[in-house]
Copies of this chain bind each other. A is one copy, B any other.
């Protein structure tokens, strides 16, 4: 999750001044609404030291009625707390209905700082993760809203901030020996963060990464995240209450439930805002990357002949490979797959094209048809479009419910984990081009009689939803790129570059695995 974060994001002073007053008004409004509806809210601040947790909490509560919230600062356990189960101090601090609890540090300490400093032993880790997820699931099912914010800065920035604090007498006490240690072992600590994010990023309590290099950007993103989450929860509770009221007195007040509410509008606006603020993995791709025809020919030839040999080796060593291809329409999936398989023994791989599910497939769980197509040991299965349709087209076209696509991230991660545990190499490619390049390719297809079959009205319609898709794709890449089944964004404006990158990635992954085993 963290490696995909773009830490260069900024907001200008002017933009900040323009946005904040509106956000502050909304937050105050939503707090009152949560109180009225009896929704307990937990806001968790985690992240790197000196990322600005204290400062941001101070900024966030400025817009709240102080009678309605409490801030809990989580440090080392007190004597009393140490003599209880580690979740005890958090269970006892859960907010009552209608109140907000802000946590400066939290139960995640157990699997972060305490893990880093070896106060949490290795065998205690799975228990701690189980307790944490159980805690959050229980509260969430009981009606609590849990907002988890992860404040991210890089090692250099962290060191700079520590140095600055240390120089000043008034603030030097805030930089501990532990802070310095974690900065010195930034990568090791970041790996623990990453592990934590993956194990606890659930549909009932998802993480939001806050890029915190720029204070203003972080403030705006925190406000927007909290506003979106609260407004969604309020809407959910209202719908639920409306259904219950209808059951008690059928026929009454039908229209109020359907009328678009003011809170619904706030939710929608915040959703649009979030799109701009969200981690944009795609926007980081450098689409100018390219190869000349000569470079391409040479690299392609080398890689294909390498893969030919490796394919045989995979077969002998009985290692299965699963390669998923997703990407924009006309992003170059077909071309890349063709070059990938060009010299592979046809008995050892299958390309599975994924269309809309047929009737038999529709009569099963959405993952069923993909499970059926998974390769046996020593074989390669290539998917031209994949199970990720669930969190892209099905999400955007409303072919499944919000609950369904939200829980799909975990379901998909679980499936890929099963494949990995059974020894498979799993890689997913996102074939990325920009909007202009897509238009160029669409027109080329229309004009070329040989290629006309490749372009339909639907492609043009999908293109109109580019922004919605981009948002969904970013979220997908974020939540389902794992160490056991990573996403690879392929810069695809240059077809030559894209094809070579795909081949190179596959070759590297196989070589790495062969060395391991």
Q: Tell me, in angstroms, the Cα distance from A126 to B82 when the chains sit together.
A: 29
Is there an interface contact between A91 and B371, defined as CB atoms closer than 8 Å?
yes
B418–A85 CB distance below 8 A = yes
A124: chain B residues at CB < 8 Å are: 421
Chain B residues, CB < 8 A from A377 = 82-84
Residues of A236-251 contacting chain B, CB below 8 A? 243, 246, 250-251
How far, in angstroms, from A92 to B367 measured CA to CA in the complex?
Answer: 10
Known: A360-B96, A421-B127. A365 touches B86 (CB 8 A): no
Q: Which residue of B lies closest to A372 (CB)?
A: B92
**Residues A88 and B374 in contact, CB atoms below 8 Å apart:** yes
A95 CB, min distance to chain B CBs, angstroms:
8
**A139 near B365: Cβ-Cβ < 8 Å:** yes
Of A68-76, A130-138, A507-515, the stretch lying at the interface with chain B is: A130-138
Bound-state Cα–Cα, A372 to B422, Å: 44
Q: Which of B38, B131, B374, B378 contacts A418 (CB 8 A)?
A: B131
Q: Indicate if A109 sits at the interface (CB-CB under 8 A).
A: no
Most central of A38, A138, A251 by chain B CB within 10 Å: A138
Q: Which of B40, B360, B368, B419 contacts A92 (CB 8 A)?
A: B368
Asked if A141 lies at the interface with its beta carbon under 8 angstroms from chain B, I say yes
Contact of A84 among B127, B139, B417, B422 (CB under 8 A): B422
Judged by a CB distance under 8 angstroms, whether A59 is at the interface is no
Return chain B residues, CB-CB under 8 Å to A98. Answer: 363
- A393 → B minimal CB distance (Å): 18
A365 touching B94 by the CB < 8 A rule? yes
Residues in B neighbouring A134, C-beta threshold 8 A: 411, 414
Closest B residue to A369 by CB, please name it. Answer: B92
A451 to chain B minimum Cβ distance, whole angstroms, is 36
Answer whether residue A318 sits at the interface, using C-beta atoms and an 8 A cutoff. yes
What residues on B are CB-neighbors of A243 within 8 Å? 243
A45–B82 Cα gap in the complex (Å)?
A: 46
Contact check, B418 vs A87: say whether CB atoms are below 8 A apart. Answer: yes
A97 at the interface (CB under 8 A from B): yes
Assembled-state Cα–Cα distance A138/B371 (Å): 13
Name A95's closest neighbour in chain B (CB-CB).
Answer: B364
A458 within 8 A of B: no
Residues of B within 8 A of A97 (CB): 363-364
Residue A435 is within 8 A (CB to CB) of chain B in the complex: no
Q: Which of B84, B141, B318, B320 contacts A376, CB < 8 Å?
A: B84
Task: Please name the residue on chain B nearest to A138 by beta carbon.
Answer: B411
- Chain B positions within 8 Å of A85 at CB level: 374, 418-419, 421-422, 424
Is A450 an interface position by the 8 A CB rule?
A: no
7 shortest interchain CB distances as A-B pairs: A83-B376, A96-B363, A85-B422, A91-B371, A83-B377, A250-B254, A134-B414
Additional pairs, 14, CB under 8 Å, beyond known A131-B421, A138-B365: A80-B376, A83-B320, A83-B377, A84-B320, A85-B422, A86-B422, A94-B364, A96-B364, A124-B421, A127-B421, A130-B417, A138-B411, A142-B366, A250-B251
Q: Can you list 16 A-B contacts with CB-CB less than 8 angstroms, sorted by A residue number?
A: A83-B377, A84-B374, A84-B422, A85-B374, A85-B422, A85-B424, A88-B374, A91-B367, A96-B360, A96-B363, A96-B364, A130-B417, A134-B411, A138-B365, A138-B367, A246-B246
